[in-house]
Amino acid sequence: MTRFAAPIAEQIWDMKYRLKGPDGAALDLTVQDSWRRVAHDLARVEADPAVWQDRFYHALQDFRFLPAGRILAGAGTGREVTLFNCFVMGTIPDSMEGIFQALKEAALTMQQGGGIGYDFSTLRPKGAAVHGVAADASGPLSFMDVWDAMCRTIMSAGSRRGAMMATMRCDHPDIEAFIAAKQDSARLRMFNLSVLVTDGFMQAVRTDGPWDLQFGGRVWQTVPARDLWNRIMRATYDYAEPGVIFIDRINQMNNLAYAETIAATNPCGEQPLPPYGACLLGSVNLARLVMDPFTPQARMDMDALDDLVRVAVRMMDNTVDASRFPLPQQAREAQAKRRIGLGVTGLADALMMLGLRYGAADAVQVTRDWMRAIAHSAYWSSVGIAQEKGAFPLFDADRFLASGFMARMDGDLRAAIAAHGIRNALLTSIAPTGTISLYAGNVSSGIEPVFSPAYRRKVLQPDGSRTEEEVVDYAVALWRQMQGDAPLPAQFVDAQTLEPLAHVAMQAAAQEWVDSSISKTINCPEGIGFDAFKDVYLAAWDQGCKGCTTYRPNAVTGSVLSVDTTPAPADAMPAPADLSEPLHRPAALEGQTYKLKFPGSEHAIYITINDIIDAGQRRPFEVFINSKNMEHYAWTVALTRMISAVFRRGGDVSFVVEELKAVFDPRGGAWMGGRYVPSILAAIGGVIERHMIATGFIAGEGMGLKSDPKAAMPVDPPRGPACPNCGQYGMRMVEGCMTCPHCGHSECG
């Protein structure tokens, strides 16, 4: 009998976590093999590996503890990969040499799949003098463009997608340009952006006071604080970015405030980290620990929760020693502080099983109680490991216990830490769990509400056709097993029906007992007024959150996934990709390379055309045009970028062929294959046309569109953007990251 609760769970395991050989043959024959592989690898650093291997396997069994995807996919494989999810890079020096050394380090980290964060506040503002070269600085935004291009290059080379977070302080002179940067739809697409908001700024907003923008001890400009706040709010209201990070609160509450200053986070915001900081992630599946669900006796098994958390902490602590790191600075930082990020998933499902409505006062209190219990179990476990293996190297009892977070811990725990130390400087975090939640049977993700009780998912088959299956929320499926077709009770709410302030209350309740931070998206209705929208951020500030990320569907951000399950007519043709939303590149594409030797040209041109499957149809996705002739360099690069950009917009792009074939060279064309070709560009058009015919995208020569269809917008209601991995619509913001509900693809890697 399969251990998987749903077909999608097994598919996710097979795609992302199952160990396979170089030839694609499965080495993990069952999911139990995957659990044994991970348990064996993380137990090898123990004095008695056999004992701990069994305990680790039991924790993994039945999806009760869910290590993050990098651990599931990488532990025990022998591959040169990092098991860490989150990195913040070193402080960027304000010099050309330092900037490009930092860029190199980012590329090396991203090559191994790490998501990275950077604070660009250290770079001098645009227009500042650059001494010694008689020039003015181009500003942080120009260098962010360089980082963005680097990320696209790494991604186009077929490496695992690595997301980036860029932060900037609210008092930097270029903050207004930073706020507006992503309003240009072509700019900084590889970045999430967040403003580092200080206590002083929030107080100035409250009192409508002035606010100095400064750098290097010089005040560049003074602006009304409330005006700047409104700029931030308007940008995120209209464009979903930038996010807001309450950076002073983060540093005040940090257990390691005596040893580090934080100025950036990882891409989804749940890990505020110092320079070269690294953190690994894992989640306890609360939905699997509820006893007697949907009955008056329903309850959380607190003993099982305590045991699972203690074992999970040990597994994650061992991961610090088992992992590789892209940079030696990251290894030193991780080993000096032994930071881990243990969180939860399935919270909303667990609450529903107890008859509690997400966001209601009783659900908020239960969430607070559960998170408190998890924090205390985690800290007690870390104390026990410290007695056995030693405290983290930078532990200082007096200063550690003086931190804001430790002040709320019980006296007996504080006394134990003072006496024995603690193994891990920080232990808890709530990370994005979209993919591992699907793998665990489509439990609700992290501390998010259920997005939808059920939706239809199209599954791409090897022959290019698609089948449909229903994907049902874990708690809903359990209810159906127990109650048949009985209507769902009132506690079954979803993200679309909740008030934004209910989201805030849940985030704040969890944050009280999380020593790092939380990846959470506060869904706002499209029609929310601007003032009410701003109140969401003020509520997050007032209630003790460390940051705030919202998502309001609109014409710019895209709508949320439609959950209408009405089947299309049997004779309906598959819809092409939405012209309003460019597709992103999947990790691997099928393609063909063609050699073109144009008469009179010294060097051949090589044209690579890669295709994607969209709505069951193979279609061109990108083109690479290369030549050794340096005279060709500029126009081949331009052509590569422009044609690829058009292809990624979807629709019938065959007009590109006809446009190229119509280009003539006033110096004369050439005879090729018995016909006159008016230019080398026309010859390239002919190559692309023959490829389109071979793949079935157009029926024959000369049958492409004769003109640009002007990217006509679809008349259907707005949908979520198309997924770059599976091509289906419905990408949605989950825990600060655009995520596909159909295949589990996440833009955050």
Structure tokens at 477: 């499926």
- In 3-state terms the chain splits into helix, strand, coil percentages (rounded to 5) of 40, 20, 45
pLDDT of residue 99: 95
Q: Six-digit token pair at 748?
A: 């955050």
Residue 91 confidence (pLDDT) above 90: yes
Catalytic annotation, pick one of 270, 333, 581, 735: 270
Residue in 268, 548, 723, 740 annotated catalytic: 268
Residue where one domain finishes, among candidates 694, 714, 744: 694
d(CA 84, CA 431): 13
Residues 116-141, mean pLDDT to the nearest whole number: 90
Token pair in block for residue 48: 């008695």
| Domain that includes residue 231, residue range | 89-253
User: What is the C-alpha to C-alpha distance for residues 365 and 565, in angstroms, rounded to an integer?
Assistant: 35
Residue with tokens 């002083």, as numbered in its chain: 200
List the one residue out of 453, 382, 459 whose CA is nearest residue 413: 382
* Assigned domain for 162 exists: yes
**What per-residue confidence (pLDDT) applies to 337?**
98
Which residue among 694, 709, 735 closes a domain? 694
Nearest to 622 by CA among 638, 600, 644, 606: 644
Q: Does residue 452 register a pLDDT over 50?
A: yes
What average pLDDT does range 506-526 have in this prediction?
96
Which one of 204, 233, 253 terminates a domain?
253
374 half-sphere exposure, CB direction, 13 A CA radius: 33
**Structure confidence at residue 112 (pLDDT):** 77
pLDDT at 583: 64
Residue among 192, 251, 254, 266 flagged as catalytic: 266
Distance CA 366, CA 628 (A): 66
Q: Is the pLDDT of residue 690 over 60?
A: yes
Active site residue 737: no
CA dist 749 and 737 (Å) reads 9
The pLDDT value recorded for residue 567 is: 42
Evaluate whether residue 127 is within a structural domain.
yes
Average pLDDT over residues 126-154: 87
Which of the residue ranges 264-268, 351-355, 600-604, 719-723 has the most confident prediction, judged by mean pLDDT? 351-355
| Mean predicted confidence (pLDDT) in 545-574 | 62
The residue among 270, 246, 231, 241 whose CA lies nearest residue 541 is: 246
Q: Give yes or no: 268 in active site.
A: yes
CA atoms 269, 274, 280, 286: torsion sign: negative
According to DSSP, residue 17 is labeled I
pLDDT digits (tens, 9 = 90+) for 343-374: 999 999 999 999 999 999 999 999 999 999 99
Assigned domain for 163 exists: yes
Return the H-helix or E-strand segment holding 358.
Answer: none
CA atoms within 13 A on the CB side of 389: 18
Q: What is the pLDDT of residue 711?
A: 45
Section 588-597 average pLDDT: 85
Domain-located, residue 64: no
- Asked if 533 contacts 552 with a C-beta cutoff of 8 angstroms, the reply is yes
Domain assignment present for 331? no
Q: Is the pLDDT of residue 79 over 70?
A: yes
- Distances 108 to 96, 115, 150, 585, 713 between C-alpha atoms, Å: 19, 11, 11, 20, 40
pLDDT at 573: 38
Q: Which residue has the tokens 């993919």?
A: 435
Q: What is the CA radius of gyration of the chain?
A: 27
- Which tokens is 655 given? 């007009």
For residue 309, being part of any structural domain is answered with no
Tell whether the model's pLDDT for residue 64 goes beyond 80. Answer: yes
Residue 577: pLDDT over 70: no
355 touches 492 (CB < 8 A)? no
Tokens of residue 393, six digits: 């190297």
pLDDT digits (tens, 9 = 90+) for 144-179: 999 988 887 776 544 455 689 999 999 999 999 999
Active site residue 631: no
Does pLDDT of 559 surpass 60? Answer: no
Question: Is the bond leading into 242 cis (omega within 30 degrees of zero)?
Answer: yes
Q: How far is CA 616 from CA 525, 576, 696, 728, in A?
A: 33, 9, 12, 10
For residues 749 and 746, what is the distance between their CA atoms, to the nearest angstrom? 6
pLDDT at 396: 98
pLDDT higher than threshold 70 for residue 571: no
Residue 461, pLDDT above cutoff 80: no
Instruction: Give the mean pLDDT of 491-502.
Output: 92
Position with higher pLDDT, 229 vs 586: 229
Residue 560's pLDDT is: 45
Average pLDDT over residues 547-556: 86
Residue 481's pLDDT band (cuts 50, 70, 90): very high
Q: What is the pLDDT of residues 692-724, one digit of tens each?
A: 988 888 888 888 877 666 544 444 444 566 676
HSE, side-chain direction, 13 A CA sphere, residue 639: 25
Q: What is the pLDDT of residues 615-647, one digit of tens each?
A: 667 889 889 998 877 777 788 888 888 898 888
What pLDDT sits at residue 742?
66
Look at residue 664 and tell me if it is in a domain: yes
Q: Binning pLDDT at 50, 70 and 90, where does residue 564 land?
A: very low
Q: Exposed e or buried b for every residue in 108-120, given b needs 16+ CB within 10 A? A: ebbebbbbbbbbb
| Separation of alpha carbons 157 and 155, rounded Å | 5
Share of the chain above pLDDT 70, in %: 88
Is the pTM value of this prediction over 0.75?
yes
CA–CA separation, 289 and 443 (whole Å): 12
pLDDT digits (tens, 9 = 90+) for 202-223: 999 999 999 999 999 999 999 9
Would strands 590-596 and 605-614 be described as parallel, antiparallel, or unpaired?
A: antiparallel
Work out the pLDDT band at 568, boundaries 50, 70, 90.
very low
Number of domains in the chain: 2
Cα–Cα distance, 169 to 182 (Å, whole number): 17
Q: Is residue 540 part of a domain?
A: no
Whole-number average pLDDT of the chain: 88
Res. 57: pLDDT tops 50: yes
What are 586's two structure tokens? 């999947």
